[in-house]
Protein backbone atom coordinates (compact mmCIF):
# COMPACT_ATOMS: atom_id res chain seq x y z
CA UNK A 1 0.00 0.00 0.00
CA UNK A 2 3.05 2.25 0.23
CA UNK A 3 3.01 3.15 -3.47
CA UNK A 4 -0.62 4.16 -3.53
CA UNK A 5 -0.27 6.05 -0.26
CA UNK A 6 2.61 8.12 -1.61
CA UNK A 7 0.53 8.72 -4.74
CA UNK A 8 -2.46 9.90 -2.67
CA UNK A 9 -0.27 12.24 -0.65
CA UNK A 10 1.02 13.84 -3.85
CA UNK A 11 -2.42 14.41 -5.42
CA UNK A 12 -3.15 18.14 -5.45
CA UNK A 13 -5.70 20.14 -7.36
CA UNK A 14 -6.11 23.88 -7.34
CA UNK A 15 -9.75 24.92 -7.71
CA UNK A 16 -10.03 28.04 -9.79
CA UNK A 17 -12.90 27.83 -12.27
CA UNK A 18 -15.53 29.91 -10.45
CA UNK A 19 -16.49 31.82 -7.33
CA UNK A 20 -19.58 32.28 -5.19
CA UNK A 21 -20.57 35.73 -3.92
CA UNK A 22 -23.39 36.69 -1.60
CA UNK A 23 -24.69 39.28 -4.08
CA UNK A 24 -24.89 36.74 -6.91
CA UNK A 25 -26.82 33.93 -5.24
CA UNK A 26 -30.58 33.54 -5.18
CA UNK A 27 -32.17 34.40 -1.82
CA UNK A 28 -34.13 31.14 -2.10
CA UNK A 29 -31.87 28.07 -1.63
CA UNK A 30 -34.15 25.84 -3.72
CA UNK A 31 -33.77 28.25 -6.66
CA UNK A 32 -30.01 28.30 -6.10
CA UNK A 33 -30.02 24.48 -6.06
CA UNK A 34 -32.09 24.47 -9.25
CA UNK A 35 -29.51 26.71 -10.94
CA UNK A 36 -26.57 24.57 -9.87
CA UNK A 37 -28.36 21.34 -10.83
CA UNK A 38 -29.12 22.82 -14.28
CA UNK A 39 -25.45 23.70 -14.67
CA UNK A 40 -24.40 20.19 -13.58
CA UNK A 41 -26.76 18.63 -16.14
CA UNK A 42 -25.54 21.00 -18.86
CA UNK A 43 -21.92 20.20 -17.98
CA UNK A 44 -22.84 16.54 -18.64
CA UNK A 45 -21.59 15.43 -15.28
CA UNK A 46 -21.98 11.68 -14.85
CA UNK A 47 -24.99 11.04 -12.59
CA UNK A 48 -25.39 14.65 -11.36
CA UNK A 49 -28.38 13.49 -9.29
CA UNK A 50 -26.31 10.91 -7.37
CA UNK A 51 -25.94 12.04 -3.76
CA UNK A 52 -24.52 10.66 -0.57
CA UNK A 53 -27.17 10.20 2.08
CA UNK A 54 -25.98 9.91 5.65
CA UNK A 55 -28.17 8.49 8.37
CA UNK A 56 -27.57 7.85 12.04
CA UNK A 57 -28.76 4.85 14.05
CA UNK A 58 -30.55 5.06 17.38
CA UNK A 59 -27.17 4.31 19.02
CA UNK A 60 -25.63 7.31 17.25
CA UNK A 61 -23.70 5.32 14.64
CA UNK A 62 -23.57 7.12 11.27
CA UNK A 63 -23.53 5.45 7.85
CA UNK A 64 -23.50 6.78 4.30
CA UNK A 65 -24.32 5.54 0.83
CA UNK A 66 -25.16 6.92 -2.61
CA UNK A 67 -28.78 7.20 -3.78
CA UNK A 68 -30.41 9.05 -6.69
CA UNK A 69 -32.32 12.29 -6.20
CA UNK A 70 -35.68 11.79 -7.92
CA UNK A 71 -37.20 15.21 -7.39
CA UNK A 72 -37.08 18.35 -5.32
CA UNK A 73 -39.14 21.45 -4.64
CA UNK A 74 -39.67 23.83 -1.74
CA UNK A 75 -40.99 20.90 0.30
CA UNK A 76 -37.75 18.95 0.13
CA UNK A 77 -35.53 16.45 -1.68
CA UNK A 78 -36.89 13.02 -2.57
CA UNK A 79 -35.24 9.63 -3.06
CA UNK A 80 -36.58 6.08 -3.17
CA UNK A 81 -35.38 2.99 -1.39
CA UNK A 82 -36.30 -0.03 0.70
CA UNK A 83 -37.86 0.98 4.03
CA UNK A 84 -36.40 -2.15 5.69
CA UNK A 85 -32.81 -1.48 4.59
CA UNK A 86 -29.97 -0.32 6.84
CA UNK A 87 -30.77 3.32 6.02
CA UNK A 88 -34.51 2.64 6.39
CA UNK A 89 -33.97 1.24 9.87
CA UNK A 90 -31.81 4.23 10.80
CA UNK A 91 -34.44 6.67 9.56
CA UNK A 92 -37.22 4.85 11.44
CA UNK A 93 -35.35 5.63 14.66
CA UNK A 94 -33.56 8.90 13.95
CA UNK A 95 -35.41 11.54 11.95
CA UNK A 96 -32.38 13.47 10.78
CA UNK A 97 -30.32 12.91 7.64
CA UNK A 98 -27.75 14.68 5.51
CA UNK A 99 -27.38 14.74 1.72
CA UNK A 100 -24.20 15.59 -0.12
CA UNK A 101 -23.51 16.22 -3.81
CA UNK A 102 -19.94 16.45 -5.13
CA UNK A 103 -19.44 17.61 -8.72
CA UNK A 104 -15.65 17.59 -9.28
CA UNK A 105 -15.92 18.96 -12.84
CA UNK A 106 -17.60 22.09 -11.46
CA UNK A 107 -15.49 22.10 -8.28
CA UNK A 108 -18.72 22.19 -6.30
CA UNK A 109 -20.26 20.53 -3.29
CA UNK A 110 -23.74 20.92 -1.80
CA UNK A 111 -24.65 19.79 1.70
CA UNK A 112 -28.28 19.52 2.79
CA UNK A 113 -29.18 18.80 6.41
CA UNK A 114 -32.72 18.16 7.49
CA UNK A 115 -35.44 15.97 8.86
CA UNK A 116 -36.99 12.98 7.15
CA UNK A 117 -40.56 12.19 6.21
CA UNK A 118 -41.80 9.13 4.32
CA UNK A 119 -43.64 10.33 1.28
CA UNK A 120 -47.25 9.57 0.45
CA UNK A 121 -47.83 5.91 -0.65
CA UNK A 122 -49.63 7.01 -3.83
CA UNK A 123 -46.71 9.19 -4.96
CA UNK A 124 -44.33 6.30 -4.21
CA UNK A 125 -46.58 3.94 -6.19
CA UNK A 126 -46.74 6.34 -9.16
CA UNK A 127 -42.96 6.57 -9.22
CA UNK A 128 -42.62 2.77 -8.75
CA UNK A 129 -44.80 2.19 -11.81
CA UNK A 130 -42.76 4.63 -13.90
CA UNK A 131 -39.68 2.39 -13.46
CA UNK A 132 -38.78 -0.39 -15.90
CA UNK A 133 -40.65 -3.64 -15.16
CA UNK A 134 -37.36 -5.40 -14.33
CA UNK A 135 -36.56 -2.78 -11.68
CA UNK A 136 -40.02 -3.24 -10.18
CA UNK A 137 -39.44 -7.00 -9.95
CA UNK A 138 -35.98 -6.28 -8.55
CA UNK A 139 -37.56 -4.31 -5.69
CA UNK A 140 -39.60 -7.41 -4.77
CA UNK A 141 -36.58 -9.70 -5.13
CA UNK A 142 -34.20 -7.70 -2.93
CA UNK A 143 -34.37 -7.83 0.83
CA UNK A 144 -32.05 -4.83 0.75
CA UNK A 145 -29.13 -4.86 3.22
CA UNK A 146 -29.82 -8.42 4.45
CA UNK A 147 -26.90 -10.84 4.44
CA UNK A 148 -27.45 -13.51 1.77
CA UNK A 149 -25.75 -16.83 1.10
CA UNK A 150 -24.76 -16.07 -2.49
CA UNK A 151 -25.87 -14.22 -5.64
CA UNK A 152 -28.19 -17.08 -6.60
CA UNK A 153 -30.50 -16.07 -3.74
CA UNK A 154 -31.49 -12.81 -5.49
CA UNK A 155 -31.43 -14.31 -8.96
CA UNK A 156 -33.83 -17.05 -7.82
CA UNK A 157 -36.01 -14.46 -6.07
CA UNK A 158 -36.10 -12.42 -9.30
CA UNK A 159 -37.25 -15.50 -11.26
CA UNK A 160 -39.82 -16.30 -8.58
CA UNK A 161 -41.41 -12.83 -8.74
CA UNK A 162 -41.15 -12.67 -12.55
CA UNK A 163 -43.24 -15.85 -12.61
CA UNK A 164 -45.64 -14.63 -9.90
CA UNK A 165 -46.37 -11.38 -11.73
CA UNK A 166 -46.23 -12.64 -15.31
CA UNK A 167 -50.01 -12.29 -15.86
CA UNK A 168 -50.21 -8.92 -14.12
CA UNK A 169 -50.02 -5.82 -16.25
CA UNK A 170 -49.44 -3.64 -13.17
CA UNK A 171 -47.05 -4.99 -10.55
CA UNK A 172 -48.08 -3.84 -7.05
CA UNK A 173 -45.61 -1.67 -5.16
CA UNK A 174 -44.12 -3.62 -2.24
CA UNK A 175 -45.15 -2.23 1.16
CA UNK A 176 -41.47 -2.03 2.11
CA UNK A 177 -40.50 0.19 -0.82
CA UNK A 178 -41.02 3.92 -1.26
CA UNK A 179 -39.75 7.45 -1.00
CA UNK A 180 -38.32 9.70 1.67
CA UNK A 181 -38.40 13.46 1.64
CA UNK A 182 -35.56 15.36 3.29
CA UNK A 183 -36.95 18.66 4.54
CA UNK A 184 -33.93 20.92 4.81
CA UNK A 185 -33.03 23.02 7.80
CA UNK A 186 -29.80 24.12 6.12
CA UNK A 187 -28.30 24.00 2.63
CA UNK A 188 -24.64 24.83 2.04
CA UNK A 189 -23.17 25.67 -1.37
CA UNK A 190 -19.41 25.16 -1.70
CA UNK A 191 -17.30 26.44 -4.56
CA UNK A 192 -13.62 25.50 -4.73
CA UNK A 193 -11.18 28.43 -4.84
CA UNK A 194 -7.39 28.77 -5.10
CA UNK A 195 -5.17 28.24 -2.04
CA UNK A 196 -7.97 26.32 -0.31
CA UNK A 197 -9.77 29.63 0.35
CA UNK A 198 -13.03 28.15 -0.84
CA UNK A 199 -16.37 29.96 -0.93
CA UNK A 200 -19.02 28.53 1.39
CA UNK A 201 -22.49 30.00 1.68
CA UNK A 202 -24.95 28.38 4.06
CA UNK A 203 -28.70 29.00 4.05
CA UNK A 204 -30.38 28.27 7.40
CA UNK A 205 -34.10 28.20 7.97
CA UNK A 206 -34.91 30.49 10.89
CA UNK A 207 -38.68 30.75 11.51
CA UNK A 208 -39.36 30.05 7.83
CA UNK A 209 -36.94 32.72 6.64
CA UNK A 210 -33.72 31.67 4.90
CA UNK A 211 -30.67 33.36 6.40
CA UNK A 212 -27.47 33.33 4.32
CA UNK A 213 -24.10 33.18 6.09
CA UNK A 214 -20.55 32.79 4.81
CA UNK A 215 -18.54 30.03 6.44
CA UNK A 216 -14.78 29.94 6.76
CA UNK A 217 -13.29 27.43 4.33
C1 LIG B 1 -24.95 5.69 -8.44
C2 LIG B 1 -25.74 4.90 -7.41
C3 LIG B 1 -27.10 5.14 -7.29
C4 LIG B 1 -27.84 4.44 -6.33
N5 LIG B 1 -29.16 4.76 -6.18
C6 LIG B 1 -29.88 4.15 -5.20
C7 LIG B 1 -31.22 4.57 -4.94
O8 LIG B 1 -31.77 5.50 -5.54
N9 LIG B 1 -31.90 3.90 -3.95
C10 LIG B 1 -31.33 2.88 -3.23
O11 LIG B 1 -31.99 2.32 -2.36
N12 LIG B 1 -30.04 2.51 -3.43
C13 LIG B 1 -29.30 3.11 -4.39
N14 LIG B 1 -27.99 2.76 -4.60
C15 LIG B 1 -27.43 1.68 -3.76
C16 LIG B 1 -27.04 2.27 -2.38
O17 LIG B 1 -25.81 2.98 -2.48
C18 LIG B 1 -26.91 1.21 -1.27
O19 LIG B 1 -26.00 0.20 -1.65
C20 LIG B 1 -28.25 0.55 -0.92
O21 LIG B 1 -29.31 1.50 -0.92
C22 LIG B 1 -28.19 -0.12 0.43
O23 LIG B 1 -27.83 0.84 1.40
P24 LIG B 1 -27.99 0.57 2.99
O25 LIG B 1 -27.60 -0.88 3.23
O26 LIG B 1 -27.07 1.53 3.64
O27 LIG B 1 -29.43 0.82 3.34
C28 LIG B 1 -27.21 3.45 -5.52
C29 LIG B 1 -25.84 3.24 -5.65
C30 LIG B 1 -25.11 3.97 -6.57
C31 LIG B 1 -23.61 3.76 -6.64
Spell out the domains of the chain, with CATH numbers in brackets.
Answer: 15-214 (2.30.110.10)
Rg (CA), the chain: 20
196 labelled catalytic: yes
Element (H, E) at 121: helix 121-130
Q: Is 142 in the pocket of ligand 1 (CB under 6 A)?
A: no
44-55 confidence digits (pLDDT tens): 999 999 999 999
Q: How far is CA 15 from the centre of its chain?
A: 24
CA–CA distance from 83 to each of 31, 80, 86 (Å)? 30, 9, 8
Q: What's the pLDDT score for residue 166?
A: 96
* Averaged confidence pLDDT in the chain: 97
> Beta-carbon neighbour count of residue 20 at 10 Å?
19
Q: What's the pLDDT score for residue 148?
A: 98
Q: Is 81 in the pocket of ligand 1 (CB under 6 A)?
A: yes
Q: What's the pLDDT score for residue 29?
A: 98
Distance in Å, CA 180 to ligand 1 centroid? 13
Question: Quick one: average pLDDT of 172-188?
Answer: 98
Question: Quick one: average pLDDT of 128-156?
Answer: 97
Q: What's the pLDDT score for residue 197?
A: 96
Question: Quick one: average pLDDT of 8-33?
Answer: 96
Q: What's the pLDDT score for residue 76?
A: 98
Ligand 1 atom nearest 50 alpha carbon: 1
Q: What's the pLDDT score for residue 211?
A: 98
Question: Quick one: average pLDDT of 158-170?
Answer: 97
Amino acid sequence: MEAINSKIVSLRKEYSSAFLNEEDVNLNPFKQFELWMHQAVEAQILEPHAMTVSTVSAEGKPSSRIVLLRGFDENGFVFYTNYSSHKGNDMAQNKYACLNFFWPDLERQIRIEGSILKINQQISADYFHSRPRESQIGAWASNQSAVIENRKVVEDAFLHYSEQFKHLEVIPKPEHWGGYNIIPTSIEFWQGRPSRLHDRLRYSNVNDVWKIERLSP
